[in-house]
Amino acid sequence: MIFREVEDRDLIGKAKRGDVEAYNLLVSRWEKRVFNYLLRLVGHREDALDLSQDVFLKAYQNLPKLDAAEKFAGWLFRIAHNEAFSLLRKRRPEGELPHEKGSSEAGRLLPMELSLAVDSALRRLSEDQREAVLLKVYQGFKFDEMAEILGCPVSTVKSRLYTALDLLKTTLSPALSLSNVRGES
């Protein structure tokens, strides 16, 4: 991780001086993480891909504004967060609130495969809750880094994440019981 940071810093420096190849290398290191984050957040592959392209284009154009290379990850995900929520706002009919627990999907039987069950459970979360899980569980950011990315206090980050975990625990419990039974048999 330390080596990666050092190399990223070097690539960021070169990219700031207009080295497109260095930037492409930087993109190749981060594109999968950014794409998966956006995919889980917006739930559509083509949209996630388009957004990823936009994220890296904006990141390149704004790279001179990045004051510290070690903050690149949080800064990049902040751009991704803004792009994703810009799309989600456009998608959502005016006045409609983001769907919370108890949506029409609630109560549906979970798929047997655990990963599918997880995918389904994540989709049931509100966008804010899902994003908190994505940043913490899948991207490994700390609470304070998440607060910077999301532009909200740490207390809000914790509240969203903790609620999401409680909901996931409840939603996944049938699948987890099933997988445990399978594991024991």
182 binds another protein (CB under 8 A): no
Residues 6+ apart with CB under 8 A from 26: 8, 11, 12, 15
- Stretch near another protein under the rule CB under 8 A, chosen from 31-39, 65-73, 77-85, 87-95: 31-39
Q: Rounded to an integer, what distance in angstroms lies between the CA atom of residue 37 and that of residue 162?
A: 19
19-25, long-range: CB < 8 A, 24+ apart: 23/60, 23/63
- 100 in contact with another protein (CB under 8 A): no
Cβ atoms within 10 Å of 87's Cβ, excluding its own: 19
Q: What is the rounded CA–CA span in Å between residue 133 and residue 37? A: 10
Which residue number, 31 or 100, has a Cβ lying nearer to another protein? Answer: 31
- Count of residues engaged in binding another protein, rule: CB under 8 A: 42
Which residues bind to another protein, rule: CB under 8 A?
17-18, 20, 23-24, 27-28, 31-32, 35-36, 39, 45, 49, 52-53, 56-57, 60-61, 114-115, 117-119, 122, 133, 136-138, 142-143, 158, 161-162, 165, 168-169, 172, 175-176, 179
